[in-house]
Amino acid sequence: MIKENLAEVEEKICAACKRAGRDRSEVTLITVSKTNPVVRLKEAMDCGVSVFGENKVQEMLEKIEELPDSLEWHMIGHLQRNKVKYIMGKVALIHSVDSLRLAQEISKEAVKQGTEENILVEINVAEEESKFGITTEEAIQLVEEIAKLPAIHVKGLMTIAPFVDDPEENRQVFQSLKKLSVDIKQKNIDNVTMDVLSMGMTNDYEVAIEEGATMIRVGTGIFGRRSYNL
Ligand SMILES: *Cc1c(COP(=O)(O)O)cnc(C)c1O
């Protein structure tokens, strides 16, 4: 099942890249494995998956412990400051930095543990009350503040688009995030690059790719429906 799902996702990624005149290599597929047991991740690994996304620190650490070091882990969920110290040096990218206080904690712990952390700033483009992330207006200032901190590097932006029936409804959200990243890039802020745009999930990753996503986060489309929703 995972194998077939992966093949289908891969096909759709390629088609979306083609429509947008982009190269397949510009888009990284993050396989979102949250709530799935290690045995399912191993199944995915057997199909060639090596990049996983998790949204809970404890669950991610348990999986990192049990699986080979060669895997790449992405923290995509809301991160509490008191959990930051546990993931330093263990993740390729933290997608969900939504406050200066969280960035300060990451910077402090990274310095303390002698590592460097790459992060994305999470933007609540649609300004949904239920979602974490800062507004578009707040973004530039926050990026400028984070840029001054040691051992933390802003690599781009992330958003979780609204849950909609028709993915076309989210096209504007993705366009807005892309535009914001271009605006920030033009500011040439030291210690900031805008190479990563993490946007698009099972429901809407094709539209996200058409609008410039460089990382898509796909869970259900690969593992099937989760037993509970997070
Ligand atoms: C769960 C989750 C995903 C994957 O969602 P699917 O709809 O299952 O593809 C992507 N991003 C974040 C932040 C998530 O929490």
Is 227 inside any structural domain?
no
User: Does residue 149 lie in a domain region?
Assistant: yes
Q: Encode pLDDT of 83-137 as tens digits.
A: 999 999 999 999 999 999 999 999 999 999 999 999 999 999 999 998 999 999 9
Q: Alpha-carbon distance 60 to 163, whole Å? A: 25
Could you tell me the distance, in angstroms and rounded to a whole number, from the CA of residue 171 to the centre of ligand 1?
A: 17
Whether 214 is covered by a domain: the verdict is: yes
What CATH number does the domain containing 46 carry?
3.20.20.10
CB distance 217 to ligand 1 below 6 Å: yes
CA of 8 to the centre of ligand 1 (A): 17
83: its two tokens:
């959990």
* Nearest ligand 1 atom, CA 223: 8
226 in any annotated domain: no
- Within a domain: residue 225? no
Report the alpha-carbon distance of residue 200 to residue 23 in Å, rounded. Answer: 17
The pTM score is 0.96
229 within domain boundaries: no
Please report how the helices 171-186 and 136-147 are oriented relative to each other, as an axis angle in degrees rounded to 10: 40
Q: Which residues pair with 98 in a beta bridge?
A: none
Number of domains in the chain: 1
Q: Is residue 21 part of a domain?
A: no
20 found inside a domain: no
Tell whether ligand 1 has an atom less than 6 A from the beta carbon of residue 181.
no
- The CB-side HSE value for 174 (13 A sphere, CA atoms) comes to 24
Distances, alpha carbon 45 to alpha carbons 39, 71, 195, 200, 215, in Å = 10, 9, 26, 22, 19
Model confidence over 140-162: pLDDT tens digits? Answer: 999 999 999 999 999 999 999 99
Range of the domain at 48: 2-12+26-219
